[in-house]
Structure 1
């Protein structure tokens, strides 16, 4: 009994230590259904700059948490800096679980996830608390790959409103984009670890360098000694990042802040 009470106490203490602003669930209309999302909104009327944050292949949430620690950590950082943050749930909205090891993914980065980005942007443009000319994108892994498709000139929306202000892609899979002669219509920053064995740092370099002279500003930062997922938020000792990842995570926080402040 005492052990159970101790475990419960520790659980409550950990929850309290990680307590932060609660996101607001929102529903965004899609052509074929509803896109569920979580919204972090600063206090006040605004208008605020906004960021659409795109989860990786593991999904946005878990059974006990509407926003996983990595994305919650970034959302809270962006919120403190004065941004509204919208996190679309591309998998949960379609009643799908994590897609990391699924051979035939039902939600494609270049198709459904790009449509989700467009729907999220259209929803934000209608909100009075959002500055419509200051909506940016940030994505991780599969979400970053979707971002690369969404910012291509060929994917420009037909509405007359302002385009995305900026885009930041954490360790996307650049191999297809590099082969297709990728370019971007909005300032785009790619962040990746030099030791990333999941994504390909050389392909991302090739993609960004190949866009020079025929693209909006595109830049890549390769963090020495950092692996895939270097920016993850460690929640206990066993999950503590490697030194290279810890340095890259700290550096990426500064790089993101500077890119969004452009």
Structure 2
């Protein structure tokens, strides 16, 4: 089931997240925090508008299989060598009035360069997107909630590809406590794999809204599988939707020529940015 564009919400977002011109400069802070596995020190890069108010809503961002950094990093792993996509989203979200925490959870595990295609079965269990990466996401959430400059009850989770799968798993209503109040306000998986190691074969229901974005021309993950996954979840009462962009490929939002020279990708990128800002405005700026 393909969702119509968030036309009304997009208009709302355009009004609600605008900042004065002076607030458009962005700062980036190197941070470290403890995963909820209780042992892994995870790296992160916190984007914020330079002239931010005292407290901001926030977005935790999870990278895909390729890791947090550019393929041109050449052993230098810091904010300057983050991938073009991650830099773009960090800047976009900060300029829209959010603190955006780009998480690097592959680097601390010894895999800062990530993994190539066709390596899924060769990746270590420590990087499992269903059982382990959600723990890093919740470590990021706890870290943000501990900061005086963050509105701890208004934090979203956004992930791409393998990070999108981790976002789905993290948002599952299978955790103790009232996650609607203490968890993420909304989950936004972008071109996730929806197999999730068959962990939700008996059904999936998120504890808070989930909004999935994909391309029908994705060469790495199946949009049809995700549409079925979303349909089954909705049948169980899940607040989950999927937006499928015709002919858009994997990594369609990456701001590089090889991706943006595909017309379907350029259109999908623009729509995703607008619609994600609308979703965040709806759920984080109440």
Shorter-chain TM range is 0.7 to 0.9
| Correspondence list, 1:53-202, <5 A | 53-61=61-69, 62=73, 63-64=75-76, 65-96=80-111, 97-101=113-117, 102=119, 103-106=121-124, 107-155=127-175, 162-176=182-196, 179-202=201-224
Give the equivalent residue in structure 2 for 1:50: 58
CA distance in 1, matches of 2:262, 2:45: 30
Aligned residues: 241
Q: Give the 3-state SS of the residue equivalent to 2:43 in structure 1.
A: strand
Q: Give the 3-state SS of the residue equivalent to 1:51 in structure 2.
A: strand
The structural deviation recorded for 1:155 is 3.4
1:26 aligns with 2:46: no
The structural deviation recorded for 1:94 is 1.4
Give the equivalent residue in structure 2 for 1:226: 248
Contact persistence 2:254–2:260 (CA under 8 A):
no
The structural deviation recorded for 1:150 is 0.3
CA distance in 2, matches of 1:127, 1:86: 13
CA distance in 2, matches of 1:129, 1:243: 40
Contact persistence 2:173–2:207 (CA under 8 A):
yes
- Deviation sequence 1:55-76 (CA, Å, 0-9, x none): 0111002345342110110111
Gap regions ≥5 residues in structure 2: 1-24
Gap regions ≥5 residues in structure 1: 1-19
CA distance in 1, matches of 2:180, 2:232: 29
Contact persistence 1:184–1:216 (CA under 8 A):
yes
Contact persistence 1:149–1:155 (CA under 8 A):
no
- Deviation sequence 1:198-226 (CA, Å, 0-9, x none): 11111111111111143441010000121
Contact persistence 2:259–2:265 (CA under 8 A):
no
Contact persistence 2:26–2:48 (CA under 8 A):
no
CA distance in 2, matches of 1:159, 1:245: 35
Change (3 A) 1:57 1:185: same
The structural deviation recorded for 1:98 is 1.1
The structural deviation recorded for 1:116 is 0.2
Change (3 A) 1:218 1:158: closer
Change (3 A) 1:99 1:180: farther
| TM-score of the aligned structures, taking structure 1 as reference length | 0.85
